[in-house]
Chains A and B, each alone.
Chain A
Amino acid sequence: MTVLKAKQLGLTIGRSRILQDVSLTVEPGELVALLGPNGAGKSSLLKTLAGELAFGQGTIELFGRSIQQWKGSELARQRAVMPQRVDVSFPFTVREIVALGCSGLAAAERNELIDYLLQRLGIGNMACRLVPTLSGGEQQRVQLARVLAQIWHTNGPRLLLLDECTSALDPAQQQTVFSLLRELAKDQGYSVVAVIHDLNVASCYADRLVMMAAGRIVENGAANTILEPGLLDKVFGLKARVLALPEGYPMVIPQA
């Protein structure tokens, strides 16, 4: 079953057209990277897919059912969303925040899951810390743990919508996160749609790259076909060389 099917989406806020004629399908086990310059509509597309923004034209089907027909609480068991930034307004501990994603679990099971996820994300020793006192990168991983916990124990197809989920992380932590995401996609059949700014991270980890510009999808395919000097120049205005690595994916080297 197709996990996500968006057809000819159009989104207008005020007088500006944010999205035009955007169509996208995502299958189980697929890790899809959304790329594009600032203001291309990546976050808006993600928010629309998350049901946060009401779209004017088109249709969205999640797990075979129209998004309007989903009850929020039901959808939350199969689909988790990580916004670009989340501010925690009160002195909650890391454990309390991640526990927000663990509704329906018994205390022992919940704590086990929280400890495991924090461990996997390299913040295993921080469960009792207050979130507002943590660094940006630590907070980002706390939110990621919460998002993963939300659909961890769900059976059947699952969808993660991630908006620049590693923007505050150093390269090693970024590697940890995307290795975990790829593992979830390959072994558990997760579908992942992630807005990614780092072209090489997208190239390395994603099954498919979707290039956006000015509210439209301009290209959609494997890294080899998307990361190509002509397209990069056209979309980003980026002058770059692209090397084909023996590992099978290309690498983008910006020219000085």
Chain B
Amino acid sequence: MATDTAKRAPASLIFMVLAGLAVLAALFSLTNGAYPLGTSDVVNLLLEPEAAKPAAHMVFFDVRMPRLVLGFLTGAVLAVSGTLLQGLFRNPLADPGLIGVSGGAALAAVSVIVLGGSWLSDWTILTGRWALPLAAFVGSVLTTLVAWRVASRSGSIAVATLLLAGIAINAVAGALTGLLTFYADDSELRSLTFWSMGSLGHASWEDLQVAGPWMLLALLLAPVLAKPLDAFALGESVAGHLGFSVQWVKRATVVLSALGTGAAVAVTGLIGFVGLVVPHLLRQIVGAGHRVLIPASGLAGGVLLVAADSLARVVVAPAELPIGLMMSLLGGPFFLVLLMRMRIGA
């Protein structure tokens, strides 16, 4: 029998392994940090929260738990958005950042950081401490709509144009963001830099209240697109012949990925490579079928980000690396190697 016969682990095994890894990553994340908490402490805190020392209680429930939940949700939603966009564009190199979501979110957030005291004071007064996340969210949705508008001709979406529009939008948003840094003072510059490198360091339940519902919504609705995206792998016209409403699938995919990514970027800053690497890797293991690929990507993305975030806290302790930086450091070279191997294989 030929060697290119697909060797695939059964889906149930994959999900069990991923769930196991999720538990391990969660434990690693919860027990790592300046305040000492062991595995037994974690178990005790979960079983009898009232019995714990106030400091341990505070660290566990107000610092590490929100960070864990936010990290997992962010990783999951970025990976699922990447899976959806790759399916839509029929291209394994597509990424949520590609259609302008991240660029738009970054521009809006930086605007609030730099101009929050002057031009945008109305916005900051109106939205209070949620000014930054809400602005990033609005920015990502707006830029997606712009890309959408540019790419739509008489009611249909040209995917290639959408990609090019994303590139143009990212360029403009990047330039405007750079321009804003000239007007920033030192403290603004610091928070701006930190945000653009991506971080889970300030995770709080408030952030989760703002972004969590949208991320969950995107995650829960994504599996609806599994079947149509399988058909899309054969091209738009074939998907149409098979009875799927092509325009509906395109709209739903873009809206869901913008919603999820926008919400994630809003509270964590720019974290790249999750949406690119996770679906790409998983496709080699579970196959290309979206029924398994979408939920598996979600789980794996969550695990990856939680694990990377925990590492980021360990390697330069007591300081911590921004998670976005960490992901780019790990993901960039890894992805290059992957590309080279693909080229040799082909």
Q: Which residues of A contact B (CB under 8 A)?
A: 47, 50-52, 72-77, 80-81, 83, 86-93, 96-97, 100-101, 103, 128-130, 133, 143, 150
Contacting pair A77 B231 (CB below 8 A): no
* Per-position binary interface string of chain B over residues 261-282, scored 1 when its CB falls under 8 Å from any chain A CB and 0 otherwise: 0000000000000000000000
CB-defined A-B contacts under 8 Å, sample of 25: A47-B237, A50-B241, A73-B243, A73-B245, A80-B241, A86-B238, A87-B234, A89-B91, A89-B92, A90-B90, A90-B92, A90-B288, A91-B6, A91-B284, A92-B233, A92-B287, A96-B230, A96-B288, A100-B231, A103-B227, A103-B243, A128-B5, A129-B2, A130-B6, A143-B234
- Measured between beta carbons, the chain A residues less than 8 angstroms from B2 are 129, 133
**Contact partner, A91, options B227, B242, B283, Cβ 8 Å:** B283
Name the distance in Å between B322's Cβ and chain A's nearest Cβ.
33
8 Å CB contacts to A: which residues of B64-123? 90-92
Name the distance in Å between B153's Cβ and chain A's nearest Cβ.
13
Name the distance in Å between A206's Cβ and chain B's nearest Cβ.
22
* Per-position binary interface string of chain B over residues 2-17, scored 1 when its CB falls under 8 Å from any chain A CB and 0 otherwise: 1011100000000000
B20 at the interface (CB under 8 A from A): no
Chain B contact patch, size range: 20 to 34
A76–B227 alpha-carbon span in the complex (Å): 15
**Contact partner, B243, options A72, A90, A143, Cβ 8 Å:** A72
A234–B287 alpha-carbon span in the complex (Å): 52
Contacting pair A128 B240 (CB below 8 A): no
- Measured between beta carbons, the chain B residues less than 8 angstroms from A47 are 237
A-B pairs with beta carbons under 8 A, tally: 82
- Measured between beta carbons, the chain A residues less than 8 angstroms from B245 are 72-73
Given contacts A73-B243, A101-B242, A129-B4, 17 further A-B contacts (CB under 8 A): A50-B241, A73-B245, A74-B243, A80-B241, A81-B238, A83-B237, A86-B234, A90-B90, A91-B283, A92-B233, A92-B287, A93-B287, A96-B287, A97-B234, A129-B2, A129-B6, A130-B5
Asked whether A86 and B235 contact (CB < 8 A) given A72-B245, A91-B287, the answer is yes
- Measured between beta carbons, the chain A residues less than 8 angstroms from B230 are 92, 96, 100
Contacting pair B231 A128 (CB below 8 A): no
B205 at the interface (CB under 8 A from A): no
Asked whether A77 and B238 contact (CB < 8 A) given A89-B91, A90-B92, A92-B233, the answer is no
- Measured between beta carbons, the chain B residues less than 8 angstroms from A128 are 5-6
A87–B2 alpha-carbon span in the complex (Å): 22
- Measured between beta carbons, the chain A residues less than 8 angstroms from B4 are 129-130, 133
Name the distance in Å between B83's Cβ and chain A's nearest Cβ.
11
A214–B39 alpha-carbon span in the complex (Å): 77
- Measured between beta carbons, the chain B residues less than 8 angstroms from A143 are 234
Name the distance in Å between B111's Cβ and chain A's nearest Cβ.
38
A150–B245 alpha-carbon span in the complex (Å): 16
Name the distance in Å between A193's Cβ and chain B's nearest Cβ.
14
B244 at the interface (CB under 8 A from A): yes
A128–B91 alpha-carbon span in the complex (Å): 23
B33 at the interface (CB under 8 A from A): no
Name the residue in B240, B241, B288 with the highest tally of chain A Cβ atoms < 10 Å from its Cβ.
Answer: B241
**Contact partner, A72, options B91, B244, B287, Cβ 8 Å:** B244
A47–B236 alpha-carbon span in the complex (Å): 13
8 Å CB contacts to A: which residues of B205-261? 227, 230-231, 233-235, 237-238, 240-245
Name the residue in B4, B5, B90, B242 with the highest tally of chain A Cβ atoms < 10 Å from its Cβ.
Answer: B242
Contacting pair A100 B283 (CB below 8 A): no
Name the distance in Å between A138's Cβ and chain B's nearest Cβ.
11
- Measured between beta carbons, the chain A residues less than 8 angstroms from B5 are 128-130
A128–B289 alpha-carbon span in the complex (Å): 13
Contacting pair B241 A88 (CB below 8 A): no
- Measured between beta carbons, the chain A residues less than 8 angstroms from B233 are 88-90, 92
- Measured between beta carbons, the chain B residues less than 8 angstroms from A90 are 90, 92, 233, 283, 288
Name the distance in Å between B276's Cβ and chain A's nearest Cβ.
15
A93–B8 alpha-carbon span in the complex (Å): 11
Name the distance in Å between A62's Cβ and chain B's nearest Cβ.
13
Per CB-CB distance, the 5 closest pairs between chain A and chain B, nearest first, are A76-B243, A90-B288, A73-B243, A89-B90, A81-B241
A103–B226 alpha-carbon span in the complex (Å): 13
- Measured between beta carbons, the chain A residues less than 8 angstroms from B287 are 91-93, 96
Closest B residue, CB atoms, query A75: B243
Contacting pair B289 A92 (CB below 8 A): yes
- Measured between beta carbons, the chain A residues less than 8 angstroms from B241 are 50, 52, 76, 80-81, 83
